[in-house]
Amino acid sequence: MLRCSKGDARMAKGKVITIAQQKGGSGKTTLAVNLGVMLARAGKTVAFLDTDPQGSLGRWFMTRHEAGRADGMEFSTASAWGVGYEVAKLRDGADVVIIDTPPKADSDLRPALRAADLVLVPVASSHLDLWATDGVLDLARREGCPVLVVLNRARAGTRLGADILVAAQELEAEIAQTQIANRVAYAETLGQGLGGVEGARSPAIRSECEALLAEVLAQLSED
């Protein structure tokens, strides 16, 4: 598996996860939020870095902070070219830094990829979303970053869901075994400053979030 070339940055404490996808609506922020919550529940300190001008991750964090639920979490923002500087600060005080990026795949994304120990690429259940991964995967390859494609908003038991899974397996990237289902609860809890496991209390949500967390931690431990 290819690894990022980050020189002395590898000596820093925290691991960095960049969540990237060219197409909007793929669920990047939802994935960032739920992964961060699961990491925090596992005893990790988490720093969120929002580089998307839309600011959805920031709104979620402030809602959570105002409710007194942000212990063990930090939040910051940065422009594309300020990512390296901000990450260098955040990873000294956090076990994991999660970067949420804008829906695009161009040179502005490269600093967030360059900083990453792992790049997560969410793919929603449509061929349009699948096709949109090409640009991100190409940039990640150029930066030598490990990539894990996550089938997000998946529709299990449907022909479309099966077609997307088959097509995704043809990508030149590793596919997460865990699929995150298309559940209303994820959207509802996001607006409350919560993760899915904190709001809906659904065994299915807990199961898939725990499974994805295990896969991500396994990837990071290989670095």
Going by CATH, does the domain composed of 7-221 fall within 3.40.50.300?
yes
> In this predicted structure, what is the pLDDT of residue 11?
37
The size of the chain, in residues, is 223
The enclosing H or E element of 185 equals helix 184-190
Per-residue model confidence (pLDDT) at position 3: 36
User: Global pTM?
Assistant: 0.88
Residue 67 has what pLDDT?
96
Angle made by CA atoms 32, 36, 37, in degrees to the nearest 5: 120
Residue 47 CB neighbour total at 10 angstroms: 25
The string of pLDDT tens digits covering residues 89-127 is: 999 999 999 999 998 767 789 999 999 999 999 988 666
pLDDT at 159: 61
| Per-residue pLDDT at 152 | 84
Half-sphere exposure of 191 (CA within 13 A, CB side): 4
Residue 156 has a pLDDT of 65
Q: What is the DSSP string of 48-105?
A: EEE--TT-HHHHHHHHHHHTT--TTEEEEE--GGGHHHHHHHHTTT-SEEEEE--S--
Question: Could you report the per-residue pLDDT of 152-176, keeping only the tens digit for each?
Answer: 877 665 565 566 666 666 677 788 8
User: So what's the pLDDT on residue 120?
Assistant: 96
Residues of the chain with pLDDT under 50: 1-12
